[in-house]
């Protein structure tokens, strides 16, 4: 296509949302009209399924759950008045709570104000709050947020030492929908220990955000924690940013949560339109389907040209890959679906892996996120008539063009500025695109059976560790790893047993490995 034809194609396919000032450009995806027509009936089905989902159908059949994140930003859509009232009440409670924390009406026992937040959660209970904090928290927030999103002891130490003496004015959010995920549970226990080492009563600093009746909820209630906020059965972790999971930390940081909800609602309205060309989420799903042949054959590289959107790709990684990465389709057929997502930010990445994108294996399509406003206020000039923002914009346009010229497709999403409304809209746009794409490829976007399998496998390892320690305790003499495995009744688990013992040895846990470390099979293992 020559420049004139491309300009026409750009205009033909450009989507613009007036209320949000958001543009979506899929002109650099090389599909043609025949392809669009070939997907028409699949899209009609996808739109129908989305209507049913929003009306409260069991859209997550494996878990027998409704899928209601769209109701969070428009409670009038909720399928019954009880849910509606609950959504509205929770939102009001969050605002009142944040306000009371900010004014000091709610304060730590020995201080006038809370100064910091430690937010403990993983996956959907961390990625949204992290993305939003990075994107929207003011430079001087009323409370500084720190995240513990793993069971890495050194990571926990790092957060605790950064907080230091301010622990006595730190509010702890323990976020877990299920209330039973091991990583946040471990983080909570360690943080609780840190409070008690300082003679602080953890319960007076702790807030639980979890499903009613979960283990975490029970602990919070029995220990009389400072507060609890509900997480609903019908909101999945990876779509929970607009529930208490995302709204509590955001409101505490002084982020305008009503604006975030409004942006998402406006986008939800726009992506409800049952017409591919007028629906930005459908345009995204169409582009993804085209690029990867409906089988995820190409990866999605997400490049926001704005530092504050750095974590968008990580956020999308869970949303897209946990939703679409499925072995079986809804009919039980083996399909190995998914779309791999990665990326950091432009132009920074142009000095790293963009080399491969431009010239190497063409196994991806790029999504460039453009922000029209460079900064608040005027920019000084770097060169005559040129600002740093002009460079950033130039790098984006140049990369888009260079990729296209080398037969690499790209999508460009343009927002006027990074604010609560546009961030809410971006989240809603991708949530809907994932839902529609899942319908096109006939997978359940709302369960995660593979993750559950991983959790079970980890539990088996911890069980094995206990057995191994019992064997060592009951034997006085040194044993080989093979002998330990036999005595533990786990002869087929020699290698994991070796790795368990090596880990215990490295952490001075009373296990001694003697012999040639390069020949694990010959080692003798004993207790100190
Ligand atoms: O919020 P939680 O119940 O603790 O779950 C946290 C995360 O862990 C799970 O393993 C799921 O795969 C994620 O979808 C979820 O967001």
How many whole angstroms from 146 Cα to the centroid of ligand 1?
Answer: 19
Q: What is the pLDDT of residues 262-307, one digit of tens each?
A: 999 999 999 999 999 999 999 999 999 999 999 999 999 999 999 9
Q: Cα–Cα distance between 162 and 159 in angstroms, integer? A: 5
Residue 462 — pLDDT band, cuts 50, 70, 90? very high
Identify the pLDDT of residue 476. 78
Phi and psi (nearest 5°) for 438? -60, -40
| CB of 340 closer than 8 Å to CB of 353 | no
Helix (H) or strand (E) holding 146: strand 144-148
Helix (H) or strand (E) holding 359: helix 354-359
Q: Which two tokens stand for residue 265?
A: 């609602």
Identify the pLDDT of residue 448. 93
| CB of 421 closer than 8 Å to CB of 263 | yes
Q: Angle at the Cα of 257 (from 252 to 263), degrees rounded to 5?
A: 155
Average pLDDT over residues 70-98: 97
Residue 457 — pLDDT band, cuts 50, 70, 90? confident
Q: Cα–Cα distance between 250 and 304 in angstroms, integer? A: 21
Identify the pLDDT of residue 440. 98
Q: Which two tokens stand for residue 338?
A: 């998914």
Domain ranges in the chain with CATH number 3.40.50.10490: 3-63+262-445, 69-255
Average pLDDT over residues 440-449: 96
- 1 pLDDT above the threshold of 90: no
Residue 64 DSSP one-character state: T
Helix (H) or strand (E) holding 245: helix 244-252
How many whole angstroms from 237 Cα to the centroid of ligand 1?
Answer: 6
Identify the pLDDT of residue 454. 80
Stretch among 148-157, 322-331, 345-354 having the lowest mean pLDDT? 345-354
Q: Cα–Cα distance between 306 and 465 in angstroms, integer? A: 46
Average pLDDT over residues 394-400: 96
User: What are the start-end ranges of the E strands in 382-498?
Assistant: 410-415
Ligand 1: nearest atom to the Cα of 210: 1
Identify the pLDDT of residue 458. 85
Active site residues: 322, 351, 455
| CB of 298 closer than 8 Å to CB of 109 | no
- 330 pLDDT above the threshold of 90: yes
- Count CB neighbours of 313 within 10 A: 23
| CB of 350 closer than 8 Å to CB of 395 | yes
CATH of 69-255, one of 3.40.190.10, 3.40.50.720, 3.40.50.10490, 3.30.750.24: 3.40.50.10490
Identify the pLDDT of residue 455. 82
- 397 pLDDT above the threshold of 90: yes
List all residues whose CB is within 6 A of at least one atom of ligand 1: 122-125, 176-178, 181, 184, 237-238, 322, 448, 451
Residue 456 — pLDDT band, cuts 50, 70, 90? confident
Domain 450-527 listed as CATH 2.40.50: no
Identify the pLDDT of residue 459. 86
Question: Pick from 528, 462, 455, 454: which is nearest to 493 by CA?
Answer: 462
* Nearest residue (CA) to ligand 1, atom 7: 123
Q: Cα–Cα distance between 439 and 219 in angstroms, integer? A: 39
Residues paired with 210 in a beta bridge: 176, 230
Note if the bond before 196 is cis, omega within 30 degrees.
Answer: no
Identify the pLDDT of residue 25. 98
Q: Cα–Cα distance between 37 and 29 in angstroms, integer? A: 16
Question: Pick from 85, 132, 150: which is nearest to 248 by CA?
Answer: 132
Give the mutation target among 67, 174, 181 for probing the ligand 1 site: most ligand atoms within 8 A of CB. 181
Identify the pLDDT of residue 406. 95
Residue 324 — pLDDT band, cuts 50, 70, 90? very high
- Count CB neighbours of 189 within 10 A: 11
Average pLDDT over residues 156-184: 97
Q: Which two tokens stand for residue 492?
A: 């087929």
- 450 pLDDT above the threshold of 90: no
| CB of 235 closer than 8 Å to CB of 229 | no
* Nearest residue (CA) to ligand 1, atom 10: 451
Q: Cα–Cα distance between 121 and 477 in angstroms, integer? A: 43
Give the mutation target among 124, 315, 451 for probing the ligand 1 site: most ligand atoms within 8 A of CB. 124
* Nearest residue (CA) to ligand 1, atom 9: 123
Identify the pLDDT of residue 451. 85
Q: What is the pLDDT of residues 217-249, one digit of tens each?
A: 999 999 999 999 999 999 999 999 999 999 999
Q: Cα–Cα distance between 72 and 477 in angstroms, integer? A: 62
Please report, for residues 2, 308, 362, 406, the alpha-carbon distance to residue 356 in angstroms, rounded to integers and kept in the order given: 25, 25, 8, 12
What's domain 3-63+262-445's superfamily in CATH? Answer: Glucose-6-phosphate isomerase like protein; domain 1 (3.40.50.10490)
| CB of 114 closer than 8 Å to CB of 143 | yes
Q: Cα–Cα distance between 290 and 298 in angstroms, integer? A: 10
- 158 pLDDT above the threshold of 90: yes
> Which residues, other chains included, contact 28 with Cβ-Cβ below 8 Å and sequence gap of 6+?
400, 403, 404, 409, 410, 411, 412
- What is the chain's mean pLDDT, rounded? 97
Q: Which two tokens stand for residue 302?
A: 């997400």
Give the mutation target among 129, 177, 452 for probing the ligand 1 site: most ligand atoms within 8 A of CB. 177
- 452 pLDDT above the threshold of 90: no
């Amino acid at each position: 296509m020559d420049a004139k034809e491309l300009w026409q194609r750009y205009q033909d396919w450009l989507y613009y949302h007036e209320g949000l000032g958001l543009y979506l450009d899929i002109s650099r995806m090389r599909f043609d009209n025949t392809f669009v027509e070939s997907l028409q009936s699949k899209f009609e089905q996808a739109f129908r399924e989305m209507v049913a989902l929003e009306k409260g159908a069991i859209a997550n059949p494996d878990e027998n759950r409704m899928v209601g994140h769209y109701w969070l930003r428009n409670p009038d859509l909720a399928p019954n008045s009880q849910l509606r009232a609950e959504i509205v009440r929770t939102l009001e409670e969050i605002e009142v709570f944040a306000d009371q924390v900010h004014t000091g009406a709610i304060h730590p026992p020995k201080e006038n104000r809370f100064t910091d937040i430690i937010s403990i959660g993983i996956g959907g209970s961390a990625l949204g709050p992290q993305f939003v904090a990075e994107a929207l928290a003011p430079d001087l927030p009323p409370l500084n947020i720190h995240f513990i999103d793993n069971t890495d002891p050194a990571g926990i130490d790092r957060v605790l030492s950064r907080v230091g003496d301010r622990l006595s004015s730190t509010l702890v959010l323990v976020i877990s929908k299920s209330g039973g995920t091991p990583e946040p549970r471990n983080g909570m226990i360690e943080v609780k220990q840190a409070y008690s080492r300082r003679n602080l009563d953890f319960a007076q600093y702790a807030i639980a955000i979890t499903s009613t009746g979960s283990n975490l909820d029970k602990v919070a209630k029995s220990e009389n924690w400072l507060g609890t906020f509900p997480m609903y059965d019908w909101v999945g972790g990876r779509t929970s940013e607009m529930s208490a999971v995302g709204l509590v930390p955001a409101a505490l940081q002084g982020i305008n949560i009503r604006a975030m909800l409004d942006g998402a609602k406006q986008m939800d309205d726009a992506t409800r339109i049952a017409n591919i060309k007028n629906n930005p989420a459908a345009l995204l799903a169409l582009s993804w389907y085209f690029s990867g042949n409906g089988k995820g054959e190409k990866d999605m590289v997400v490049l926001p040209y704005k530092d504050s959107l750095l974590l968008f790709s990580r956020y999308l990684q869970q949303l897209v890959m946990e939703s679409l990465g499925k072995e079986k389709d809804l009919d039980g057929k083996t399909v190995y679906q998914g779309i791999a997502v990665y990326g950091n930010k432009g132009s920074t990445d142009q000095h790293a892996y963009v080399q491969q994108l431009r010239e190497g294996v063409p196994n991806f399509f790029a999504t460039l996120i453009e922000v029209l406003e460079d900064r608040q206020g005027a920019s000084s000039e770097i060169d005559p008539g040129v600002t740093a923002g002009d460079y950033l914009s130039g790098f984006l346009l140049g990369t888009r063009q260079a990729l296209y010229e080398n037969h690499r497709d790209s999508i460009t999403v343009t927002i006027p500025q990074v604010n609560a409304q546009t961030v809410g809209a971006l989240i809603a746009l991708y949530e809907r695109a994932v839902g529609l794409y899942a319908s096109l490829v006939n997978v359940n976007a709302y369960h995660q059976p593979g993750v559950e399998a991983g959790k079970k496998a980890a539990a088996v390892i911890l069980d094995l560790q206990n057995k191994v320690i019992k064997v060592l305790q009951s034997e006085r003499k040194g044993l080989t790893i093979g002998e330990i495995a036999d005595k533990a009744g786990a002869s087929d688990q020699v290698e994991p047993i070796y790795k368990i013992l090596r880990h215990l040895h490295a952490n001075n846990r009373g296990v001694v490995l003697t012999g040639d470390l390069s020949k694990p099979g010959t080692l003798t293992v004993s207790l100190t």
